[in-house]
Amino acid sequence: MYQKSFNSVSKGRGKGGFNSSKPKSKYNFASSNSNNSGGQTSTFQGSRGNFVPYGSASRSQSSFTSSGYRKNWSSKPRRGNFRQAEDYSRYIKKAAPVSESEEYVSEHRFADFDISAELKKNIEQKNYTTPTPIQDQSIPHLLEGRDVIGIASTGTGKTGAFIVPLIDKIFKDKSQRVLIVTPTRELASQIDAEFREFSRGMRLFSVQVIGGANIGRQISNLQRQPQFVIGTPGRINDLIKRGKLRLPGFQNIVLDEVDRMVDMGFIEDIQKIMSYLPQKRQSLFFSATISPRINSLIQTFLTNPITVSVKASQTSDNVEQDIVKVPRDQQKIEVLHELLIQEEFEKVLIFGKTKRGVEELSRELAVRGFKSTSIHGDKPQNKRERALRSFKQDELNILVATDVAARGLDIDGVTHVINYDLPESFDDYIHRIGRTGRANNRGVALTFVK
């Protein structure tokens, strides 16, 4: 169970480069014992009431949960409380007990695959010996040239599942070219970074074609005929219209995070891209789910595909989920401040609804002394990449993002996800909280509600 501790003394970070103290609270913190709750509880004494763990003797007054953060500010129940509990119950869930799951036994080692010695050397330098399940089951089919549908979520190693066999294929036949289509710029950058590591010293080249970056430079790089082109649907189609990207020369296509691209309205862009490709090609679709619309794409553009499905446990099983009730006369930023000063909020991803709101919130947190940055669609691409890199490398411990900007992000060590603004849909909610509780680690997801 997630334990909440309150301490008015700010402590420096002992890892990840956080050496400075956190901002302090404006309030006083005190600890009290609750006989009815079965142990010690922490009471937060603020200007508008006390926070105590949900389920304790003082729950009727106000509560800041130890397993979550529901908060009632009056001893008298308000009209509509039961309705609110019903509306927001989907955001409240205990994390499943951590248990020893049956370990996947790989049928292969990377050394077993029929790939070039140069590629094996690069894999060894990354300290990879045993493939992940999606890699273990996909790579043999890809090396045979088969079309593959990979059903797996972010963080399962699916980039390696398609990048490794495609690098080997192009290394052995330089006349081949690869187009990789992703829903977001950040995911394109992540894939490009993986490509560069796996292909080091093999004289294979890539270019990113993404919105928000200098299109002139991208056109110049395309003229060098790179073997790998990695981009987002809008920019790819723009370059096709300009006659700067000619797809008949691409015999390999990867659509990554297809479900996200469909959700974001890119289905027509995808269909246009696929229509320009040669009939004889190797097509790879990777998606977390297969909806009817995705299935129609598969039926149209893939030939006798092999389906590889990695049924990992739902990420949300490892995530403690709860809500933070914010009173009408209280500003959300003040409640957020009181959360972020707590020691356990080590690496926090905060989701906002609008680009402007995300930028303003990040700036306000910085003014308050927090190490915060932001990513959203209006931010220049170089600044988005710098912000993401700083968060990944623990130079900053708070990232404020919009849903679209955070699509497909694979970031290690996120301890908390905070839905500062409510998600548009429950699917968006699941995507958001999936940024924490990864790799069998525990995470916490908090949703602010009025």
> What are the DSSP calls for 352-393, one per residue?
-SSHHHHHHHHHHHHHTT--EEEE-TTS-HHHHHHHHHHHHT
Task: Give dist(CA 206, CA 224) in Å, integer.
Answer: 10
Confidence (pLDDT) at 300 = 87
Q: Which of 339, 347, 343, 324 is nearest to 415 (CA)?
A: 347
Q: Is 216 helix (H, G, I), strand (E, B) or coil?
A: helix
Indicate the Cα dihedral angle 363, 364, 368, 374, nearest 10°.
-40
In contact, 256 and 187? CB cutoff 8 Å:
yes
Q: For residues 203 and 84, state if they share a domain.
A: no
What's the CA gap between 326 and 242, in Å, rounded? 51
Same-domain status, 194 and 324: no
In a domain, residue 195? The reply is yes
Domain termination residue (choose one: 309, 339, 373):
309
3-state helix, strand, coil in the chain (%, to 5): 35, 20, 45
C-alpha angle 149-101-127 in degrees, rounded to nearest 5:
65
CATH number assigned to the domain comprising residue 46: 3.40.50.300
Q: What are the DSSP calls for 162-195, one per residue?
A: HHHHHHHHHHH-TT--EEEE-SSHHHHHHHHHHH
- Does residue 142 sit in the same domain as residue 168? yes
Where a domain ends, among 283, 309, 335?
309
Q: Nearest Cα to 375, choosing from 365, 387, 363?
A: 387
- Torsion of Cα atoms, 83 then 85 then 91 then 94, to 10°: -150
Please say whether the beta carbons of 381 and 210 come within 8 A: yes
The pTM is what? Answer: 0.64
Domain membership flag for residue 14: no
254 and 119 inside one domain: yes
What pLDDT, on the 0 to 100 scale, is given for residue 97? 58
Report the candidate in 3, 305, 360 with the shortest Cα–Cα distance to residue 150.
Answer: 305
Residue 23 included in any domain: no
What residues in the chain have per-residue pLDDT under 70? 1-21, 24-87, 95-102, 311-316, 405-408, 439
Does residue 8 lie in a domain region? no
Same domain, 140 and 206: yes
| Same domain, residue pair 245 and 350 | no
Residues 40 and 66 reside in one and the same domain: yes
pLDDT digits (tens, 9 = 90+) for 3-23: 343 333 333 333 334 444 678
254 and 197 in one domain? yes
Burial (CB count <10 Å: 0-12, 13-18, 19+), residue 395: middle
Q: Are residues 116 and 93 in the same domain?
A: no
Residue type at position 367: V
The upper half-sphere exposure of residue 51, i.e. CA atoms within 13 Å in the direction of its Cβ, equals: 26
Asked if 143 and 242 sit in the same domain, the reply is: yes
| 48 and 195 part of one domain | no
Q: Do residue 78 and residue 115 come from a single domain?
A: no
Alpha-carbon distance 134 to 64, whole Å? 41
Task: Confirm whether 10 is domain-assigned.
Answer: no
Rounded CA gap, 197 and 126, in Å? 8
Domain-located, residue 15:
no
Identify the domain containing residue 185 by its residue range: 110-309
C-alpha distances in Å from residue 22, one per residue of 143, 219, 223, 341, 358: 51, 45, 49, 6, 21
Look at the chain and report how many structural domains it folds into.
2
Task: Give which of 240, 259, 337 is closest to 10, Cα–Cα.
Answer: 337
What are the residues facing 306 on neighbouring strands?
148
List Cβ neighbours of 285 (8 Å cut-off, separation of 6 or more).
148, 149, 150, 255, 258, 294, 297, 298, 302, 305
Geometric angle at alpha carbon 143, from 153 and 244, rounded to 5°: 75
Residue 26: its pLDDT value, please? 52
Tokens of 247: 């797809």
Decide if 18 is inside a domain. no
Give the pLDDT of residue 425: 79
Contact 285, 255 (CB under 8 A): yes
> HEC string of 282-308?
EEEEEECCCCHHHHHHHHHHCCCCEEE
H, E, C per residue of 384-398: HHHHHHHHHCCCCCE
Given 252, 281, 309, which residue is the final one in a domain? 309
Residue 370 lies in a domain: yes
Distance CA 88, CA 90 (A): 5
